[in-house]
Structure 1
Amino acid sequence: MASQQGNMPFIKNLASSDRKIRTSALASLQSFLSARQVASALGPLDVLKLWKGLFFAMWMCDRAIPQQNLCAELADLIFILPRDAVVPWLRGFWTTMSREWTGIDVLRMEKFLLLVRRTVGAGFRWMKEGSKKGKSTWDTGRVSDILSLLSEFPFTLDVDARQEKRPEGEEGELTPHAVPVGLKLHVLDIWVDEAEKVGLLDEGDDEASKILQQISDLVDNLEKSTSSPALRNRSKESLADDRLPGNKSRPTAMEDAEMADAEQKDSGSWDGFDD
């Protein structure tokens, strides 16, 4: 499989600003990954090599529109992969992001932030089994897979324990020594947005409510266990989001001042002479 990857110039062409070249390159990549005999044969090292190439393509991609399109296209690759290849593919993505994150310069960071956002959103959409009689349902197995990946990477709890549990051989290659704090902070910033887009915040969907609670529990555990003040504060902020069930809208500072002023006026008002 490794020899095949050396013959995939279409990965580099994904960075092209020429729409025809990029579209052709994407079609070639989709055909390559959608072939069950190929996708099922991809080992951990093969996945990492592919993601290293895709990371490079994203790195070289210029201009806002091509960058936005490439982010969406790479995130949506999970929808053309065979079912059993999705989790290894996403694990390869998170491993690559974890390894490369601190080396991304400030001029390129914005497009990688978008790539992470699109991938988180695609993972949430992938959890949906489909539509039955007009009602979206959630695939229990897919939900479990995505939540496991979140707990393994952006919401991972104990770095030291993670290092001790790294498996031997190729599987260990898909488990980085640590997930950068910056990557974790970004996922904490966006997860509620992406959950809302896919319907996890919809009232009346009991399954969605259960899934949302499980994600909230991961964030809550991170907030309680992390030694990073930044992660602790950001976790609290995301769980306090007004859109999450149980969170009432908090009055702004101006509203607080207006309420206090009104109370003061009421307490000092004149009710007239007593009879």
Structure 2
Amino acid sequence: MHDSKNALSVQKLIADLAGIVRIMDQKDQQLAPAINAPSQSWLETWMTAFWETLCREWASIDQWRMNKVLLLVRFFIREQFGLALEWAVKQDPKLKDQVARQLRVLEAWPLSPRERRVPDGLRLHVLDVWTEELAGQLSAAQKALDEDAENSDPESKKSILLSLAQEFMEPVRKISREAISKGVKIRAKEAVKLAEEQLSG
């Protein structure tokens, strides 16, 4: 029988995850001035390891832990969107490159149309939460711009945020066309349709 005392604290997991993502981002920013063209992003490396480990261990996750893993994936995606949108308004070319790296990791792992190491169950869950989390983070970022008294041009920055949100939908559009699984294609199309309704300026 499952012992709830041994279960991971979801709230602690969320806090730890957010902290790790922020630490990786800070590490990258500390290293960037020391080298002309950063060839390695610690955040990118950590993200790749996260998805690779999930894919490898997916089949062995028991029913008692699966809900926690699904929550972990949701909050990981939420933190990733939040960080990317935060970078976007800074309009720094190096941070723009970091966003591009994030997208490449996502296209190579959870949103890869044909990568057989990615379980369809994981793909489906990512697609389930993708648009909801993206729309939520976009709304929060836009609200923050409105509330920032020092921001002289919120509409311009909102346009940048919306453009980035659309970029994050591109892998979903691609998987809706190219996925091997019919179920994954259908779920991706649903996510795209939801994005058309929810992602607005």
- Relative to the length of structure 1, the TM-score reads 0.54
- Equivalent of 1:207, from 136, 139, 160? 160
Aligned to 1:182: 121
Q: Secondary structure at the match of 2:169?
A: helix
**Cα deviations by residue, 1:210-248 (Å, 9 ceiling, x for unpaired):** 2122222211110101121110110011111131349xx
Task: Choose from 177, 182, 197 the match for 1:229.
Answer: 182
The answer to whether the 8 A contact 1:121-1:198 is kept is yes
Partner of 1:141: 97
SS of residue matched to 2:198: coil
Which residue among 231, 238, 250 is the counterpart of 2:191?
Answer: 238
Q: Whole-Å Cα distance in 1 between the matches of residues 166 and 87 of structure 2?
A: 21
Deviation at 1:113, TM superposition (A): 0.4
Query: Secondary structure of the equivalent of 2:180?
Result: coil
**Residues in 1 aligned to 2:76 and 2:165: alpha-carbon distance in whole angstroms:** 18
User: Which residue, 1, 6, 10 being the options, matches 1:67?
Assistant: 10
Alignment of 1:103 with 2:60, yes or no, is: yes
Number of equivalences: 164
* Structure 1 residue runs without a partner (length 5+): 1-16, 18-60, 160-176, 247-275
Larger RCO (CA within 8 A; separation ≥ 6)? 2
Looking at structure 2, the residues matched to 180 and 76 of structure 1 have their Cα atoms a distance apart, in angstroms, of 27
CA displacement at 1:137 relative to structure 2:
3.4
Distance apart, 1:198 and its partner CA:
2.0
Unmatched runs of 5 consecutive residues or more in structure 2: 29-40, 144-154
Cα distance in 2 for residues equivalent to 1:213 and 1:127: 12
Out of 105, 109, 119, the position equivalent to 2:76 is 119
* Per-residue deviation, 1:207: 1.5
Alignment of 1:7-156 (within 5 A): 61-62=6-7, 66-81=9-24, 82-83=27-28, 84-129=41-86, 136-137=89-90, 139-156=95-112
Q: Deviation digits for residues 53-109 of structure 1, max 9, x if unmatched?
A: xxxxxxxx516xx22321331243021121131111111111000101121112211
The TM-score with structure 2 as length reference comes to 0.72
* Percent of aligned positions that are identical: 29
Deviation at 1:202, TM superposition (A): 4.6
Contact 1:220 1:235 (C-alpha < 8 Å) held by counterparts: yes
Task: Confirm or deny: 8 A CA contact 1:72 1:118 kept in the other structure.
Answer: no
Q: Deviations over 1:149-204 (max 9, x none)?
A: 11111111223xxxxxxxxxxxxxxxxx6111011111101111221232268594
Distance 1:232 1:130 in 2: 30
- The 1:72–1:194 alpha-carbon spacing in structure 2 relative to 1, beyond 3 Å, is farther
Q: State the superposition RMSD in angstroms.
A: 2.5
Deviation at 1:130, TM superposition (A): 5.8
